[in-house]
Structure 1
Amino acid sequence: MRKRLDFLSLNFLRKIEIRYRLINCFILVSLLPLLISGLLAYGETSSATQEKVRVYSMQVVKQISQNLLLRMEKIEDTSEELALSDRLQNLLTDYYGSDEAASAQARSGISKVLLDSYGSFPYVNQKYILDRKRQVIDPQIFAPLANSVARLAEEAPDLNGRPWWTLYNAGHGQRSLAMLREIRFTGNNRSAGLLFVGVRPSYFFRIFEGIDLGYDSSIFIVDANDGAIVVQNRETGPGNADPALQQGIAASLAQKRDADFIAYTGADKMPYYAAIARVPHTSWLVVSATPSDKLNADTRSVRNKILGIGLLCFAVSLLLSAIIARSITQPLKRLVMVMKETESGNSRIRVEQAGSDEIAVLARKFNEMASKLHQNKEQLEDQVAVRTRELERANRKLEALSATDGLTGVANRRRFDEALATELRRAARSNKPLALLMLDVDYFKKYNDRYGHQAGDECLRIVARVLQKSSRRATDLVARYGGEEFIIVVAESDPGGAIQQAENICDAIFELKIPHADSPFGYITASIGVAALQPDDHTAPERVLRIADQALYHAKYQGRNRVVLGSDTVHTL
């Protein structure tokens, strides 16, 4: 029996091309049962996949809604604590009082309270107090910005003691999230004004971390009032949700559902499934949109696997399939064995070339390839070595670029954060002082408005070169902190030395004589806040930054073009 099988599979069938063997086999075997079972399995699997995605996406959007609410409540709690604080209550009392001097002093005090409360929060980009007439209580705010904030406050609904969240155009086409809270006097419960807090959308990005539904799904938060996208799991610019999705959301809200699963056809003519969930106390909804085509891709894959497995099992049950398999597998096994030997380093072994089918052709080609393998091996190793060295050089260049500010050529914020933490640890171990200089170009927005952004960029590059020249040691680091702000880490520097270095920088910038018609000084100047301290193992970078930032605030408040040392020690140019 074995000899007969060998004759059929190794001699007779090997003279026939493989495609004709398979065609004859398919003709003999009816595929109709497999097709029916595959279609049934496809339909059942599609329904099961859709149900799985529905359940999981609904859970996800509900969880994101809760996580978003927790982050919003964190800001709301801070705002409530500020609104009820004795300090703010007393300042607002003075502001509304009849004593004009006390009212003017209260204005400045309110700005200081806001800075103390939110200055250390990087995700808060704007903070204002509005009086009963919805006017911003800030003597230094630009009039267009003040009018924009006032208009937003006028549009706010009756707050009824609760914070109100909305989207807000922060300028330059950028959208921020704004929270408004009514402030009432604790003594008589009369209205004292409004608290306005602008929050960067990036503050909410972390709620999407670790969440991936697969199927090319996108998760975002949309305002049901106008369809504007509040924040999403992909860092893209502002935009609006698909109009068809907005209609589906409106229909769901009309039925007063807190969560729903809908289907719609997008602007790209593709069908989608979307899970939506309300964010309590807001007009926002968390949406998870999944393309139907991507969702069914896995189902089609499962269907194909079912059909393939069924076909294989049915074919194996037939004697003819066993003979065909033997005619194919035996030569392939020998070919695989030789390939493994070649892979292990023995490139001299060859494959038997008997027969005239595709496997025999493959064997001949493999033998030719094995002959060339040894010759090409050494050349390939040399090329790999060359490419490896080139890749290492490219990686080193890329690493340098990732730590450099593209406009000014100095270190960027990421490099600065790493350097500050390192220098604090080094200063703590060596018991040496450390200074931090935070510089802000005075009236830079006015300079940009008058001379243009290209002139503004060139001004920042010139200031950066002045700061680099002022660095006395290799350990000093000059970095762009953001916008027109720069920061310098000065190791082993006491307060006197740090102030002197800051004054030299201010003098050097003034001596550049860069014209600035909208500045009271007539030229580009800078204000510098200095933090000088002896760090220990518990000194956090945030503390040093806060001291320097507050000192910079005092420098600008006292008239700009000056140096102020933290801890209320002032040194004026």
Structure 2
Amino acid sequence: MHRRLDFLSLGFLRRIEIRYRLINSFILVSLVPLLISGLLAYRETSRATQDKVRTYSVQVARQISQNLLLRMEKIEDTSEELALSDKLQRLLGDYYSGHEGASAAARSGVARVLLDTYGALPDVNQKYLLDRRRQVIDPQIFAPLAGSISRVAEDAPDLGGRAWWTLYHAGHGQKSVAMLREIRFTGNNRPAGYLFVGVRPSYFFSIFEGVELGYDSSIFIVDASDGTVVVQGRDGSASTADPALLSSISESLSQRRTSDFIAYTGLDKTRYYAAIAKLPHSSWWVVSTTPSDKLNADTRSVRDKIIAIGLGCFAVSLLLSALIARSISVPLQRLVGAMKEAGSGDTTVRVAQEGGDEIAVLSRKFNEMAGKLQQNKEELEQQVALRTRELERANRKLEALSATDGLTGVANRRRFDEVLVNELRRSVRSGHPLALLMLDVDYFKKYNDRYGHVAGDECLRIVARVLQKSSRRATDLVARYGGEEFSVIIAESDTAHALQQAENICQAIFELKLPHADSPSGYITASIGVAALQADDSTTAEQVVRIADQALYHAKYQGRNRVVLGSDATRNL
């Protein structure tokens, strides 16, 4: 192998002049990418475009599925609250009482309850209560409408305590997304009837707002049981899905595959890619379809541009290779001639030093090289010393960073564990008590959900600054214990001092008046558990943390925004 390489590089290629080697190399370098790009551009670009569309469309389908589920759950929660209400339970009891007057009053009362519950919801266009026989409890309803609602209830599967959603055609071209829920008496769990709620499709239209995949993609929700398009974007017009799409979804389910991206050929003989996401407890699917020919159109355009650019680069490379070959070969020939003359004993020969390239520098600096070797060595040693000092500073900085929480700037959990162990040992040696505060921001998850994680991070930073400001002694340590939980180690502190400092922290956080709409107080508050004890040889860090943590639990159990002192008996648990 080595002999073959030597033959090519030292034998065959060395027989060719440098300028011709350069010209040939430029041609090969420009032709090879051109050929490869021509052969692979279409396939690779198609794959990249498909992967991009797949990633984005799958994410969009999942997000729409989640948003749809949230909107459906909103209607379900309202219906569940109504089904369990004392007023509706009492009306249903009167309806089945057998007393004609009470039954008639119950029918009227049911209509008022439904109106009171759903009257403020503009997207709910139908609300009816059905009895055990699936007959509408409303004396004023039109018979055809009551019959169609009853048929929906009769076609429903065993609800099993869940809400059931279906597409309901009310006649006159009106279409609703209907929810059916079984109602049971809370006293004996016996069937009491069914709640029917019709929702306008426009209720779900905002889910599709701002969603634009490009490539003539379509997004809609389909019932896989019959192919009916339940909800689609405002630009959609199809009422049923392509049977080929339904077949692909069915095949995916039958083979127990977990793929969320499928390919199929539609009735129009067009190849489609579809991202799918199933809605739990239903036969509905969120589907995003993209025709493959639209993807390939962009791919073909990219391929043609690559080939055109490659041909242009090839033409330019031919010209550049000739110019560059001449600029290298001619000075080298002169330098080789001068070296031959010097080798024959003529040390007065000199090479013309035109230009500023490497060959000119080589001719100019050859005689100076030996004199500057020592200078380069000294400069190298100085650089090594400088880099060593910089590395030491970087190591010290890295060590400090490894003990600091990146978000709040206070000590991290690792630093907290080290300091707590050391302070326990010092407390044993000195005989002075030790205190530990465990602080947790109240209702922080709700704060994050309402205001976003950016606001949540800023809230944690503000709390950390309050803790640092309240811990002014050099021996105190403020650390982020994890999530929204902080800890403060107070060395040489008795119980009264620790409790006072904890109360000051609680008050300082409350006085910040950081708005928190989901907190009973309306502002950000904190709960603090305090562990204050005199350590001995048997005291461990885990015991101290357990005391403070149990106190923190009691503080939250007692209503939050308070300080609770932990019991030393927790050490024995």
TM-score by length of 2: 0.49
Q: Looking at CA atoms only, which structure, 1 or 2, has the larger radius of gyration?
A: 2
